[in-house]
Protein backbone atom coordinates (compact mmCIF):
# COMPACT_ATOMS: atom_id res chain seq x y z
CA UNK A 1 0.00 0.00 0.00
CA UNK A 2 1.46 3.33 -1.00
CA UNK A 3 1.57 6.29 1.37
CA UNK A 4 -1.63 8.33 1.58
CA UNK A 5 -1.57 11.75 -0.08
CA UNK A 6 0.18 14.40 2.07
CA UNK A 7 -2.64 16.80 1.15
CA UNK A 8 -5.27 15.00 3.23
CA UNK A 9 -6.88 17.41 5.70
CA UNK A 10 -8.04 14.91 8.35
CA UNK A 11 -5.86 11.85 7.97
CA UNK A 12 -7.36 10.00 10.94
CA UNK A 13 -10.89 10.04 9.53
CA UNK A 14 -10.22 10.18 5.79
CA UNK A 15 -8.00 7.08 5.82
CA UNK A 16 -9.89 5.15 8.52
CA UNK A 17 -10.18 1.42 7.84
CA UNK A 18 -13.56 0.36 6.49
CA UNK A 19 -14.57 -1.71 9.54
CA UNK A 20 -14.00 1.21 11.93
CA UNK A 21 -15.72 3.61 9.54
CA UNK A 22 -18.76 1.34 9.28
CA UNK A 23 -18.93 0.89 13.05
CA UNK A 24 -18.90 4.68 13.41
CA UNK A 25 -21.62 4.99 10.75
CA UNK A 26 -23.88 2.51 12.53
CA UNK A 27 -23.48 4.24 15.88
CA UNK A 28 -24.28 7.64 14.32
CA UNK A 29 -27.16 6.27 12.26
CA UNK A 30 -28.78 4.76 15.35
CA UNK A 31 -28.40 8.04 17.21
CA UNK A 32 -29.88 10.04 14.29
CA UNK A 33 -32.85 7.69 13.93
CA UNK A 34 -33.56 7.92 17.68
CA UNK A 35 -33.37 11.70 17.52
CA UNK A 36 -35.73 12.17 14.56
CA UNK A 37 -38.16 9.62 16.05
CA UNK A 38 -38.29 11.63 19.26
CA UNK A 39 -38.26 15.15 17.81
CA UNK A 40 -39.83 15.12 14.34
CA UNK A 41 -43.49 14.02 14.23
CA UNK A 42 -43.40 13.44 10.46
CA UNK A 43 -40.55 10.94 10.74
CA UNK A 44 -42.12 9.22 13.77
CA UNK A 45 -45.50 8.81 12.02
CA UNK A 46 -43.87 7.45 8.87
CA UNK A 47 -41.77 4.98 10.81
CA UNK A 48 -44.79 3.87 12.79
CA UNK A 49 -46.74 3.40 9.57
CA UNK A 50 -43.86 1.29 8.20
CA UNK A 51 -43.77 -0.71 11.46
CA UNK A 52 -40.20 0.21 12.33
CA UNK A 53 -38.78 1.57 15.57
CA UNK A 54 -35.35 3.03 16.31
CA UNK A 55 -34.35 -0.22 18.07
CA UNK A 56 -34.83 -2.14 14.78
CA UNK A 57 -31.73 -0.50 13.29
CA UNK A 58 -29.14 -3.10 14.29
CA UNK A 59 -26.89 -3.01 11.23
CA UNK A 60 -26.23 -0.68 8.30
CA UNK A 61 -28.36 -2.98 6.14
CA UNK A 62 -31.36 -2.08 8.30
CA UNK A 63 -31.23 1.41 6.77
CA UNK A 64 -33.50 0.08 4.05
CA UNK A 65 -36.28 -0.49 6.60
CA UNK A 66 -36.65 3.28 6.90
CA UNK A 67 -39.06 5.29 4.73
CA UNK A 68 -37.69 7.66 2.07
CA UNK A 69 -37.70 11.44 2.31
CA UNK A 70 -38.60 13.39 -0.81
CA UNK A 71 -38.21 17.02 -1.75
CA UNK A 72 -41.98 17.39 -1.49
CA UNK A 73 -41.69 16.44 2.21
CA UNK A 74 -39.44 19.44 2.73
CA UNK A 75 -41.91 21.69 0.93
CA UNK A 76 -44.95 20.24 2.71
CA UNK A 77 -43.33 20.81 6.09
CA UNK A 78 -42.14 24.32 5.29
CA UNK A 79 -40.48 26.02 7.01
CA UNK A 80 -39.48 24.18 10.21
CA UNK A 81 -41.46 20.93 10.21
CA UNK A 82 -38.44 18.65 9.71
CA UNK A 83 -36.13 20.40 12.18
CA UNK A 84 -34.91 18.06 14.91
CA UNK A 85 -33.26 20.64 17.18
CA UNK A 86 -34.99 23.29 19.32
CA UNK A 87 -35.34 26.64 17.54
CA UNK A 88 -33.00 28.32 20.02
CA UNK A 89 -30.18 26.00 18.91
CA UNK A 90 -30.55 26.94 15.23
CA UNK A 91 -27.92 29.52 14.31
CA UNK A 92 -28.43 29.75 10.56
CA UNK A 93 -30.94 28.92 7.84
CA UNK A 94 -30.38 28.50 4.13
CA UNK A 95 -32.98 27.99 1.44
CA UNK A 96 -32.92 26.62 -2.06
CA UNK A 97 -34.82 28.51 -4.68
CA UNK A 98 -37.77 26.74 -6.15
CA UNK A 99 -39.16 27.57 -9.56
CA UNK A 100 -42.67 27.36 -8.15
CA UNK A 101 -44.12 27.84 -4.70
CA UNK A 102 -42.20 27.83 -1.44
CA UNK A 103 -38.46 27.18 -1.25
CA UNK A 104 -37.03 24.43 0.92
CA UNK A 105 -35.44 25.62 4.14
CA UNK A 106 -32.52 24.01 5.94
CA UNK A 107 -31.48 24.78 9.52
CA UNK A 108 -28.03 24.46 11.09
CA UNK A 109 -26.88 24.29 14.69
CA UNK A 110 -23.46 25.52 15.78
CA UNK A 111 -22.22 21.93 15.52
CA UNK A 112 -23.69 21.56 12.01
CA UNK A 113 -21.71 24.59 10.85
CA UNK A 114 -18.54 23.10 12.35
CA UNK A 115 -19.13 19.82 10.55
CA UNK A 116 -19.83 21.68 7.32
CA UNK A 117 -16.56 23.62 7.58
CA UNK A 118 -14.74 20.34 8.34
CA UNK A 119 -16.06 18.50 5.28
CA UNK A 120 -15.43 21.48 2.99
CA UNK A 121 -11.89 21.64 4.45
CA UNK A 122 -11.45 18.00 3.37
CA UNK A 123 -12.70 18.93 -0.11
CA UNK A 124 -10.13 21.73 -0.33
CA UNK A 125 -7.46 19.19 0.67
CA UNK A 126 -8.68 17.02 -2.23
CA UNK A 127 -7.91 19.98 -4.52
CA UNK A 128 -4.49 20.53 -2.84
CA UNK A 129 -5.65 23.87 -1.46
CA UNK A 130 -3.95 24.88 1.78
CA UNK A 131 -3.33 27.63 4.29
CA UNK A 132 -1.09 29.53 1.89
CA UNK A 133 -3.72 29.71 -0.82
CA UNK A 134 -5.98 32.60 -1.78
CA UNK A 135 -9.46 31.22 -2.41
CA UNK A 136 -11.93 33.28 -4.43
CA UNK A 137 -15.49 32.22 -3.67
CA UNK A 138 -17.56 33.15 -6.71
CA UNK A 139 -20.61 31.15 -5.72
CA UNK A 140 -23.57 33.30 -4.75
CA UNK A 141 -23.65 34.35 -1.09
CA UNK A 142 -26.96 34.49 0.70
CA UNK A 143 -29.69 31.91 1.11
CA UNK A 144 -27.94 29.71 -1.47
CA UNK A 145 -25.51 27.37 0.31
CA UNK A 146 -22.65 27.70 -2.20
CA UNK A 147 -21.01 30.95 -1.09
CA UNK A 148 -21.09 30.60 2.68
CA UNK A 149 -20.47 26.85 2.46
CA UNK A 150 -17.16 27.16 0.63
CA UNK A 151 -16.31 30.22 2.70
CA UNK A 152 -16.53 28.31 6.00
CA UNK A 153 -14.24 25.52 4.82
CA UNK A 154 -11.68 27.86 3.30
CA UNK A 155 -11.46 29.83 6.56
CA UNK A 156 -11.20 26.57 8.47
CA UNK A 157 -8.03 25.59 6.64
CA UNK A 158 -6.66 29.09 7.19
CA UNK A 159 -6.63 30.16 3.54
CA UNK A 160 -7.12 33.78 2.54
CA UNK A 161 -10.74 34.04 1.39
CA UNK A 162 -11.91 36.53 -1.24
CA UNK A 163 -15.73 36.48 -1.00
CA UNK A 164 -16.60 38.02 -4.37
CA UNK A 165 -19.90 36.12 -4.74
CA UNK A 166 -21.20 35.61 -8.29
CA UNK A 167 -21.60 38.30 -10.94
CA UNK A 168 -19.70 41.38 -12.16
CA UNK A 169 -17.33 39.16 -14.09
CA UNK A 170 -14.80 41.78 -15.21
CA UNK A 171 -14.33 42.94 -11.64
CA UNK A 172 -13.93 39.32 -10.51
CA UNK A 173 -11.14 38.88 -13.03
CA UNK A 174 -9.43 42.10 -11.99
CA UNK A 175 -9.44 41.00 -8.34
CA UNK A 176 -8.29 37.53 -9.32
CA UNK A 177 -5.22 39.07 -10.91
CA UNK A 178 -4.54 41.82 -8.35
CA UNK A 179 -5.06 39.71 -5.22
CA UNK A 180 -3.20 36.69 -6.57
CA UNK A 181 -6.09 34.21 -6.36
CA UNK A 182 -4.77 30.63 -6.53
CA UNK A 183 -8.04 28.69 -6.20
CA UNK A 184 -11.57 29.45 -7.28
CA UNK A 185 -14.97 27.98 -6.40
CA UNK A 186 -18.12 28.62 -8.48
CA UNK A 187 -20.58 26.88 -10.79
CA UNK A 188 -18.94 25.30 -13.86
CA UNK A 189 -21.05 27.44 -16.19
CA UNK A 190 -19.80 30.55 -14.44
CA UNK A 191 -16.20 29.32 -14.70
CA UNK A 192 -16.76 28.93 -18.42
CA UNK A 193 -18.18 32.44 -18.65
CA UNK A 194 -15.14 33.79 -16.81
CA UNK A 195 -12.83 31.89 -19.15
CA UNK A 196 -14.63 33.25 -22.21
CA UNK A 197 -14.48 36.77 -20.80
CA UNK A 198 -10.74 36.40 -20.22
CA UNK A 199 -10.27 35.26 -23.79
CA UNK A 200 -12.53 37.93 -25.30
CA UNK A 201 -10.90 40.77 -23.35
CA UNK A 202 -7.41 39.51 -24.18
CA UNK A 203 -6.47 39.02 -20.53
CA UNK A 204 -2.87 37.94 -19.99
CA UNK A 205 -3.14 34.53 -18.28
CA UNK A 206 0.53 34.61 -17.29
CA UNK A 207 -0.34 37.36 -14.79
CA UNK A 208 -2.70 35.01 -12.93
CA UNK A 209 -1.65 32.65 -10.14
CA UNK A 210 -4.80 30.57 -10.50
CA UNK A 211 -4.01 26.87 -10.16
CA UNK A 212 -7.14 24.99 -9.30
CA UNK A 213 -10.93 25.27 -9.31
CA UNK A 214 -13.73 23.53 -7.42
CA UNK A 215 -16.93 23.56 -9.41
CA UNK A 216 -20.37 22.28 -8.53
CA UNK A 217 -24.07 22.99 -7.89
CA UNK A 218 -24.99 21.80 -11.39
CA UNK A 219 -24.10 18.73 -13.43
CA UNK A 220 -21.23 19.11 -15.91
CA UNK A 221 -19.32 16.84 -18.24
CA UNK A 222 -15.74 15.84 -18.95
CA UNK A 223 -15.94 17.96 -22.09
CA UNK A 224 -16.88 21.03 -20.11
CA UNK A 225 -13.99 20.26 -17.78
CA UNK A 226 -11.60 20.31 -20.77
CA UNK A 227 -13.00 23.65 -21.90
CA UNK A 228 -12.61 25.23 -18.45
CA UNK A 229 -9.10 23.84 -18.00
CA UNK A 230 -8.03 25.13 -21.40
CA UNK A 231 -9.55 28.57 -20.94
CA UNK A 232 -8.36 29.13 -17.37
CA UNK A 233 -5.17 27.03 -17.40
CA UNK A 234 -6.13 25.25 -14.17
CA UNK A 235 -7.10 21.83 -12.86
CA UNK A 236 -10.88 21.75 -12.58
CA UNK A 237 -12.39 19.45 -9.94
CA UNK A 238 -15.96 18.51 -9.14
CA UNK A 239 -17.56 19.21 -5.75
CA UNK A 240 -21.01 17.90 -4.81
CA UNK A 241 -23.63 18.76 -2.29
CA UNK A 242 -27.20 19.87 -1.86
CA UNK A 243 -29.06 22.11 0.55
CA UNK A 244 -31.30 19.27 1.71
CA UNK A 245 -28.33 17.36 3.16
CA UNK A 246 -26.13 20.36 4.04
CA UNK A 247 -24.77 22.19 0.96
CA UNK A 248 -21.52 21.86 -1.01
CA UNK A 249 -18.97 19.53 0.56
CA UNK A 250 -20.87 16.23 0.69
CA UNK A 251 -18.45 14.73 -1.85
CA UNK A 252 -15.37 15.85 -3.77
CA UNK A 253 -13.10 14.65 -6.52
CA UNK A 254 -9.46 14.29 -5.49
CA UNK A 255 -6.46 15.53 -7.46
CA UNK A 256 -4.77 12.10 -7.28
CA UNK A 257 -7.69 10.02 -8.57
CA UNK A 258 -9.58 12.55 -10.69
CA UNK A 259 -12.23 9.94 -11.11
CA UNK A 260 -15.31 9.97 -8.95
CA UNK A 261 -15.99 11.99 -5.81
CA UNK A 262 -15.16 10.83 -2.27
CA UNK A 263 -18.33 11.00 -0.21
CA UNK A 264 -17.59 11.73 3.47
CA UNK A 265 -19.09 8.58 4.85
CA UNK A 266 -18.62 9.46 8.52
CA UNK A 267 -21.32 12.13 7.97
CA UNK A 268 -23.38 10.85 5.03
CA UNK A 269 -24.48 7.33 4.08
CA UNK A 270 -25.00 6.97 0.32
CA UNK A 271 -27.30 4.42 -1.30
CA UNK A 272 -27.89 3.95 -5.02
CA UNK A 273 -31.48 3.12 -5.90
CA UNK A 274 -33.30 1.91 -8.94
CA UNK A 275 -35.17 5.17 -9.72
CA UNK A 276 -38.31 3.31 -10.70
CA UNK A 277 -38.61 0.76 -7.86
CA UNK A 278 -36.61 2.43 -5.07
CA UNK A 279 -34.74 -0.84 -4.49
CA UNK A 280 -31.03 -0.48 -3.59
CA UNK A 281 -28.64 -1.37 -6.44
CA UNK A 282 -25.24 -3.06 -6.10
CA UNK A 283 -22.00 -1.03 -6.24
CA UNK A 284 -21.08 -0.02 -9.77
CA UNK A 285 -24.64 0.18 -11.09
CA UNK A 286 -26.06 3.54 -12.16
CA UNK A 287 -29.08 4.76 -10.27
CA UNK A 288 -30.47 7.49 -8.07
CA UNK A 289 -28.32 8.73 -5.21
CA UNK A 290 -30.07 8.59 -1.85
CA UNK A 291 -28.37 10.16 1.18
CA UNK A 292 -28.88 9.75 4.91
CA UNK A 293 -27.20 12.37 7.09
CA UNK A 294 -25.83 10.85 10.30
CA UNK A 295 -24.48 13.84 12.20
CA UNK A 296 -26.84 16.66 11.24
CA UNK A 297 -28.64 18.14 14.26
CA UNK A 298 -30.68 21.01 12.82
CA UNK A 299 -32.34 19.16 9.98
CA UNK A 300 -31.27 15.54 9.54
CA UNK A 301 -32.54 13.87 6.39
CA UNK A 302 -33.26 10.16 6.35
CA UNK A 303 -32.89 8.40 2.98
CA UNK A 304 -33.25 11.60 1.01
CA UNK A 305 -33.99 10.95 -2.67
CA UNK A 306 -31.65 13.35 -4.48
CA UNK A 307 -32.86 12.44 -8.01
CA UNK A 308 -29.17 12.70 -9.03
CA UNK A 309 -27.89 9.86 -11.18
CA UNK A 310 -24.57 8.23 -10.28
CA UNK A 311 -23.04 4.96 -9.07
CA UNK A 312 -20.69 3.90 -6.29
CA UNK A 313 -17.09 3.19 -7.27
CA UNK A 314 -15.98 0.55 -4.76
CA UNK A 315 -12.32 0.34 -5.87
CA UNK A 316 -9.74 2.00 -3.61
CA UNK A 317 -8.46 5.41 -4.73
CA UNK A 318 -4.75 6.12 -5.33
CA UNK A 319 -4.93 9.05 -2.86
CA UNK A 320 -5.28 6.65 0.08
CA UNK A 321 -8.64 7.96 1.30
CA UNK A 322 -10.90 5.09 2.31
CA UNK A 323 -14.21 6.89 1.84
CA UNK A 324 -15.85 5.49 -1.27
CA UNK A 325 -16.36 7.49 -4.42
CA UNK A 326 -19.49 8.26 -6.40
CA UNK A 327 -19.18 8.73 -10.13
CA UNK A 328 -19.48 12.25 -11.46
CA UNK A 329 -23.14 13.16 -11.55
CA UNK A 330 -24.77 12.05 -14.74
CA UNK A 331 -27.82 14.30 -14.87
CA UNK A 332 -30.96 14.09 -12.81
CA UNK A 333 -33.80 11.64 -12.92
CA UNK A 334 -36.12 14.66 -13.21
CA UNK A 335 -34.05 16.35 -15.99
CA UNK A 336 -34.77 13.28 -18.04
CA UNK A 337 -36.93 13.94 -21.07
CA UNK A 338 -38.86 11.15 -22.69
CA UNK A 339 -38.94 11.84 -26.41
CA UNK A 340 -40.70 9.32 -28.65
CA UNK A 341 -40.18 6.79 -25.87
CA UNK A 342 -36.42 7.39 -25.60
CA UNK A 343 -34.85 8.64 -22.33
CA UNK A 344 -32.83 11.77 -23.09
CA UNK A 345 -30.55 13.61 -20.65
CA UNK A 346 -29.32 17.10 -21.60
CA UNK A 347 -25.83 16.10 -20.38
CA UNK A 348 -25.68 13.50 -23.19
CA UNK A 349 -26.08 16.25 -25.77
CA UNK A 350 -23.31 18.21 -24.13
CA UNK A 351 -21.03 15.18 -24.12
CA UNK A 352 -21.71 14.58 -27.79
CA UNK A 353 -20.80 18.09 -29.01
CA UNK A 354 -17.81 18.89 -26.83
CA UNK A 355 -14.51 18.54 -28.63
CA UNK A 356 -15.92 19.19 -32.10
CA UNK A 357 -13.83 22.00 -33.63
CA UNK A 358 -15.84 25.08 -34.46
CA UNK A 359 -18.49 24.38 -31.81
CA UNK A 360 -18.93 26.08 -28.43
CA UNK A 361 -20.24 23.95 -25.52
CA UNK A 362 -23.50 25.92 -25.54
CA UNK A 363 -26.71 24.21 -26.41
CA UNK A 364 -30.44 24.31 -25.96
CA UNK A 365 -32.93 21.52 -26.48
CA UNK A 366 -36.31 22.65 -27.76
CA UNK A 367 -38.93 19.93 -27.59
CA UNK A 368 -42.21 20.35 -29.38
CA UNK A 369 -45.10 18.20 -30.47
CA UNK A 370 -46.09 18.45 -34.11
CA UNK A 371 -49.00 16.31 -35.41
CA UNK A 372 -48.84 14.24 -32.22
CA UNK A 373 -45.18 13.49 -32.75
CA UNK A 374 -42.40 14.75 -30.49
CA UNK A 375 -39.81 16.83 -32.31
CA UNK A 376 -36.46 17.60 -30.75
CA UNK A 377 -34.57 20.61 -32.01
CA UNK A 378 -31.02 20.98 -30.74
CA UNK A 379 -29.57 24.46 -30.94
CA UNK A 380 -25.78 24.51 -30.83
CA UNK A 381 -23.58 27.59 -30.86
CA UNK A 382 -20.78 28.09 -33.34
CA UNK A 383 -17.39 29.02 -31.89
CA UNK A 384 -16.58 32.71 -32.37
CA UNK A 385 -13.39 31.95 -34.32
CA UNK A 386 -15.42 30.39 -37.12
CA UNK A 387 -16.26 32.98 -39.75
CA UNK A 388 -19.93 33.11 -40.56
CA UNK A 389 -19.37 33.19 -44.35
CA UNK A 390 -17.57 29.89 -44.52
CA UNK A 391 -20.70 28.21 -45.77
CA UNK A 392 -19.25 24.91 -46.93
CA UNK A 393 -17.38 24.45 -43.70
CA UNK A 394 -20.52 25.13 -41.72
CA UNK A 395 -22.58 22.64 -43.71
CA UNK A 396 -19.95 20.01 -43.07
CA UNK A 397 -19.86 20.92 -39.39
CA UNK A 398 -23.63 20.75 -39.19
CA UNK A 399 -23.59 17.18 -40.49
CA UNK A 400 -20.91 16.15 -37.99
CA UNK A 401 -22.68 17.68 -35.00
CA UNK A 402 -26.01 16.17 -35.97
CA UNK A 403 -24.48 12.73 -36.43
CA UNK A 404 -22.70 12.96 -33.10
CA UNK A 405 -25.85 13.91 -31.18
CA UNK A 406 -28.01 11.34 -32.93
CA UNK A 407 -25.54 8.56 -32.22
CA UNK A 408 -25.51 9.34 -28.52
CA UNK A 409 -29.26 9.85 -28.13
CA UNK A 410 -30.41 7.13 -30.51
CA UNK A 411 -32.96 9.61 -31.82
CA UNK A 412 -33.24 11.80 -34.91
CA UNK A 413 -33.01 15.50 -34.15
CA UNK A 414 -33.36 18.77 -36.00
CA UNK A 415 -30.11 20.70 -35.64
CA UNK A 416 -29.87 24.47 -35.61
CA UNK A 417 -26.44 26.08 -35.49
CA UNK A 418 -26.53 29.40 -33.68
CA UNK A 419 -24.40 32.50 -33.91
CA UNK A 420 -21.67 32.79 -31.28
CA UNK A 421 -23.02 34.28 -28.06
CA UNK A 422 -26.69 33.84 -28.98
CA UNK A 423 -27.64 31.10 -26.48
CA UNK A 424 -28.35 32.73 -23.16
CA UNK A 425 -25.48 32.79 -20.63
CA UNK A 426 -26.13 32.19 -17.03
CA UNK A 427 -24.21 33.04 -13.87
CA UNK A 428 -26.02 30.34 -11.92
CA UNK A 429 -27.42 27.09 -13.14
CA UNK A 430 -27.62 26.82 -16.91
CA UNK A 431 -30.96 26.23 -18.51
CA UNK A 432 -30.69 23.65 -21.24
CA UNK A 433 -34.24 22.68 -22.05
CA UNK A 434 -37.35 24.38 -23.37
CA UNK A 435 -40.17 21.90 -23.37
CA UNK A 436 -43.05 23.36 -25.34
CA UNK A 437 -45.01 20.13 -25.15
CA UNK A 438 -46.37 21.19 -21.76
CA UNK A 439 -48.54 23.70 -23.62
CA UNK A 440 -50.56 20.84 -25.02
CA UNK A 441 -51.07 18.95 -21.75
ZN1 LIG B 1 -8.97 9.91 -3.95
Looking at per-residue pLDDT, the higher value among 208 and 422 belongs to 208
Residue 387: the pLDDT is 64
> How far, rounded to the nearest angstrom, does the alpha carbon of residue 177 sit from its chain's CA centroid?
27
- Whether 348 shows a pLDDT value over 90: the answer reads no
Residue 100: the pLDDT is 61
How remote is the CA of residue 317 from the centroid of ligand 1, in Å? 5
pLDDT in tens, 145-188: 999 999 999 999 999 999 999 989 999 999 999 999 999 999 99
How remote is the CA of residue 131 from the centroid of ligand 1, in Å? 20
How remote is the CA of residue 254 from the centroid of ligand 1, in Å? 5
Number of alpha helices (DSSP H) and beta strands (DSSP E) in the chain: 11, 20
How remote is the CA of residue 260 from the centroid of ligand 1, in Å? 8
Residue 396: the pLDDT is 86
How remote is the CA of residue 304 from the centroid of ligand 1, in Å? 25
pLDDT in tens, 360-370: 878 899 999 88
Residue 62: the pLDDT is 98
Looking at per-residue pLDDT, the higher value among 382 and 56 belongs to 56
How remote is the CA of residue 18 from the centroid of ligand 1, in Å? 15
Residue 370: the pLDDT is 85
Average pLDDT, the chain: 91
pTM confidence score: 0.81
* 3-state SS, residue 225: helix
Looking at per-residue pLDDT, the higher value among 390 and 16 belongs to 16
How remote is the CA of residue 16 from the centroid of ligand 1, in Å? 13
Q: Using an 8 Å Cβ cutoff, are 290 and 312 in contact?
A: no
Alpha-carbon distance of 344 to 376, in angstroms, equals: 10
The arithmetic mean of pLDDT across residues 10-35, rounded, is 98
Looking at per-residue pLDDT, the higher value among 412 and 208 belongs to 208
Domains of the chain, earliest start first: 1-333 (3.40.50.12780), 337-440 (3.30.300.30)
Backbone region of residue 142 per phi and psi (left: phi > 0; alpha: psi in -120 to 50; beta: other values): left
Alpha-carbon distance of 36 to 289, in angstroms, equals: 21
How remote is the CA of residue 255 from the centroid of ligand 1, in Å? 7
Alpha-carbon distance of 239 to 237, in angstroms, equals: 7
Question: Among 91-95, 295-299, 343-347, whose mean pLDDT is lowest?
Answer: 343-347
Q: Using an 8 Å Cβ cutoff, are 247 and 145 in contact?
A: yes
Residue 441: the pLDDT is 42
The arithmetic mean of pLDDT across residues 106-122, rounded, is 98
- For a pLDDT cut of 70, what percent of the chain falls above it? 95
Beta bridge partners of 287: 310
Q: Using an 8 Å Cβ cutoff, are 261 and 326 in contact?
A: yes
How remote is the CA of residue 268 from the centroid of ligand 1, in Å? 17
The arithmetic mean of pLDDT across residues 85-100, rounded, is 88
Looking at per-residue pLDDT, the higher value among 337 and 97 belongs to 337
Residue 440: the pLDDT is 44
Amino acid sequence: MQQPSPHIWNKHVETMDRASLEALQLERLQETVRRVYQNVPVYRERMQAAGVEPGDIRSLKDLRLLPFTQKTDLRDNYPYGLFAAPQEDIVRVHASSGTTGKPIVAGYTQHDLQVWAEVVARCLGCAHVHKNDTVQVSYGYGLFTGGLGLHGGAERIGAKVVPTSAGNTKRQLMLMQDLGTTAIACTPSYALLMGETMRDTGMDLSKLKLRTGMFGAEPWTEGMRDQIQNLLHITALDIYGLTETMGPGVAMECMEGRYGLHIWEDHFIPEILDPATGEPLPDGEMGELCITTITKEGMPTIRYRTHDLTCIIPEPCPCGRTHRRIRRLHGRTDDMLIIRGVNVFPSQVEASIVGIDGIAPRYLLVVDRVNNLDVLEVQVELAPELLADEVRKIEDLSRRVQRSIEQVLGLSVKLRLMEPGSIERSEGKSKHVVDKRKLYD
